[in-house]
Structure 1
Amino acid sequence: MKSITLRFQFLPVLFVLLSVGLAGCNKNSDDPEPITTSSIGQYAGKMVTTGGLTNQGSAIVQTMAITVEMTAGSKENEVKWKIIGPFGDYNDPLTATIDGTKFTTQSQKLTYGPGDEVVFEGTGTLIGQQLTVTLREDDGQGQYTHEITATRK
């Protein structure tokens, strides 16, 4: 009878200790925070493009007004973003990740038709409502750098 009484007295103490132990388990501070709705939406700004055709050595510098359309990605901290300019959609949506204020588009290839493949990659920041990205493009015939600055509408 004594052992049953001790078990019942020990059980609440064990439960309290487990509760305190589990409450002390926090999410690792290195884990990325989920994308918030403040990142999703349209951004208005400009894109300055430099570069040229590899075989001609020609260089361009072009500045244009753009809209960046940002939607949620399929994973935590992932977004899809598309550049829309005076010529329409610049590209299919690119995938990017946001870690704190760091905005990263890993190297990805978009195919627009047979033999028409373009590789994009870039880095930048998303601080508050301000998006700043350096996006590199290689279409196999030329290489271009797009400096993008845009503010959420």
Structure 2
Amino acid sequence: MSIPVLRRPKQVEKNNNIIIEPEDFMILTLKNGKKLVVSSDSYHGIITSSNIYKCVICNEEFSLAKGDKEKHKKSHKHKQLMILSPHKEDFAENLIRQIETDICYCTICNVVVPSRTLTRHLSAEGHTTELKKAKLRSFTYQPLL
């Protein structure tokens, strides 16, 4: 069984050379026992914005160096804020975090969504497609031992 292309690899432009970074994935087991597989960056709220990484959980920006991103994910501050901003149980498998009063973060799509448009986002084709991919990945991806 071949693994389908799930998402184009991130492309980072550095000195006119394009570097393709492979994505690390995480297998998440929900309270109902269902599994979803999302990128580590999505789980940690790390988005790429032009020539920087931004953590939407901590509201911090840092360089595109992979070491900086991984160091940030392991930082005490980031871990504490992840605990304080859990995925909302009301949205179950949609993996929504409330990061501010009027702003949510969709782990499935790796995007920030205003709270007032969250329902529309969850029913949009883009989100439903990404959710299906996360579910399908759970059948093909196995944990590293």
TM-score tier (shorter):
under 0.3
Which of the two has greater helix per residue? 2
- TM-score, length basis structure 1: 0.25
Which of the two has greater strand per residue? 1
Rg larger in structure:
1
